Structure 1
């Protein structure tokens, strides 16, 4: 279809486009549910709730940009055509929001570490102002990291959107840089602080078990159990992030290094890796529902005016049996 210098190609609903559309719908609905539940409890929310809300928001935005759109095969020689190539064709918005999601996940891991390992300074270090600043920084960092896409995607003299690098060295620099900042460093930081947090919780659980093995009569043990449940849920989120993003991030880096051929771009394996990465944006609500009883209860009470509006992911004391006090 030709309109004012634009030549639009309709969406080809092949298998990966259908899966991408389904993933987008599930991601939008699932993350919107998380946002609504946390918004209802905003007055009593804690740092964890706020950061998980930021993660859900980033995944929600990512899911919106995931929706397939018609492609412009020819663009006009105008500023609008140039903007399309650099902003839409490059998928800059999709990658930036997914980067913000990864940064938010890393922030949650660090927040859990501070809350468990440094409880006396928790209120000071995790004040509302600092948490909001951290959320803003996740978006600034996400947008900044993918700014090179605005320069490596452009409109050529034939009025087509094209991608390319000014030099081989810059391609390698961008490839290694994005792999490090979007996968390797977040993975190392998240797993490291998670391990340190789990070790501290394990020690505290053993200490409080020695005092009284009945959680109902031991408030300190109840808080350890609450922290443990949040930590276990976070661990699954981190592992799913590694599984989903690992293949495509590794594939892009190997392509930029010249280890795998240019045929990787547009290949079936690339589409499989992309779909796997996009699944990460719709998986977290399911993980919360499967692993976190309070989340399932909040869903049941969604339209109940007499619902309990306490912190959803905060360190509330919970009833549990001594059998479930083993900490990761």
Structure 2
């Protein structure tokens, strides 16, 4: 996370460069526009339609909220700084942008982890999960994630400030220095907590999920047809969650690796490295605008409501060819099945 928002302005200065001063800002503005629009539509669909208020979609809503916050409070200021080559947004926005970048990425990581653990619990402990997985519990988990993410990175707000240099004024983060660099310790802590450790937990859960899906039965009390339907639903939603996690891992890996390398090689600054830094930033930011497309093309519920929103202009692209009539279910499991199917 080092250098992804609040202190990214320290990378610019001097003569206007067509890449860092024009191309990167334009890309960032496009990413912000698409991402804010797409994630706002996702939130609209979830809160507007009762059948979309499921456990999985509760986590989806949290992800959409974190993406909107990232795009608004971090991507747009970053594009502004790239154009003006100095920070002109004031001290409060300097602190707020740096703080938001850490909080939103932390919330995203923890939400993806919670989604994966939820998938693990649903599939590996299928019978037990029927009575314990509720939307209210998912909402409580999401609120706890946001509170934890907000508290654990409060130091970024406290120690971010405007630095005045010959080239201009820049928003940077400076921790108190001691025998060991506090900034280095915090950067390593952020890398582990906001990328490495969550992904390890996710990989473990998916390993267990794959074993359960491909090698074991989903239950013994249901008919073979009911088992097949349940397994298809679980596979479909699990696939969606996996794609979202994979995209996050791919989009954020380059900037995480680059920032960690640059942290221990501060003298490696060069035009080529700054171009790489800008490209990696754009890739990381693009993760905040791709999730709505994943939902629109992989889940039945979002496909239906996106078709209603956009009508014939893109309805054929989102046509669910595999959609079939849902058979009648028993009274005891109809509500749970409908709620889970609606998130597909």
Q: Which runs of 5+ in 1 are unaligned?
A: 1-8, 213-217, 319-328
Which of residues 92, 109, 127 in structure 2 aligns to 1:83?
Answer: 92
Matched, 1:275 2:282: yes
Residue pair 1:49, 1:311 contacting (<8 A) in 2 also: no
Matched, 1:199 2:214: no
Q: Deviations over 1:194-253 (max 9, x none)?
A: 221222122345888xx74xxxxx112101100100111111111111110111112222
Q: Shift of the alpha carbon at 1:275?
A: 0.6
Report the 3-state secondary structure (helix = DSSP H, G, I; strand = E; otherwise coil) of the residue aligned with 1:267. helix
1:121 paired residue number: 128
Q: Shift of the alpha carbon at 1:92?
A: 2.1
Q: Shift of the alpha carbon at 1:117?
A: 1.5
Matched, 1:23 2:48: no
2:174 paired residue number: 164
Q: Which runs of 5+ in 2 are unaligned?
A: 1-12, 312-325, 327-334
1:148 paired residue number: 155
Residue pair 2:39, 2:65 contacting (<8 A) in 1 also: yes
Residue pair 1:45, 1:314 contacting (<8 A) in 2 also: yes
Q: Shift of the alpha carbon at 1:97?
A: 2.0
Q: Distance in 1 between matches of 2:310 and 2:163?
A: 53
Q: Distance in 2 between matches of 1:52 and 1:270?
A: 29
Q: 1:50 to 1:84 in 2, by over 3 A?
A: closer
Q: Distance in 2 between matches of 1:182 and 1:38?
A: 26
Q: Deviations over 1:259-302 (max 9, x none)?
A: 46351798111111111101111111112223334432232234
Q: 1:222 to 1:175 in 2, by over 3 A?
A: same
What CA RMSD, in Å, does the superposition of the two structures yield over aligned residues?
A: 3.6
Q: 1:283 to 1:314 in 2, by over 3 A?
A: farther
Q: Shift of the alpha carbon at 1:313?
A: 9.5
Q: 1:23 to 1:261 in 2, by over 3 A?
A: same
Q: Distance in 2 between matches of 1:311 and 1:285?
A: 24
Spell out structure 1 runs of 4+ moving beyond 6 A: 310-313
Residue pair 2:25, 2:80 contacting (<8 A) in 1 also: no
TM-score by length of 2: 0.73
Residue pair 2:106, 2:193 contacting (<8 A) in 1 also: no
Q: Distance in 1 between matches of 2:228 and 2:38?
A: 32
Residue pair 2:35, 2:68 contacting (<8 A) in 1 also: yes
Q: 1:107 to 1:222 in 2, by over 3 A?
A: same
Q: How many residues align structurally?
A: 293
Matched, 1:251 2:258: yes
1:316 paired residue number: 341
Which of residues 31, 48, 64 in structure 2 aligns to 1:56?
Answer: 64
Report the 3-state secondary structure (helix = DSSP H, G, I; strand = E; otherwise coil) of the residue aligned with 1:166. coil
Which of residues 187, 190, 197 in structure 1 aligns to 2:199?
Answer: 187
2:40 paired residue number: 32
1:261 paired residue number: 267
Matched, 1:220 2:232: no
Q: 1:314 to 1:180 in 2, by over 3 A?
A: farther
Matched, 1:176 2:173: no
Q: Distance in 1 between matches of 2:207 and 2:39?
A: 27
Q: Distance in 1 between matches of 2:68 and 2:173?
A: 27
User: Greater share of helix residues, 1 or 2?
Assistant: 2
Matched, 1:284 2:291: yes
Q: 1:200 to 1:260 in 2, by over 3 A?
A: farther
Q: 1:239 to 1:143 in 2, by over 3 A?
A: same
Q: Distance in 1 between matches of 2:99 and 2:128?
A: 38
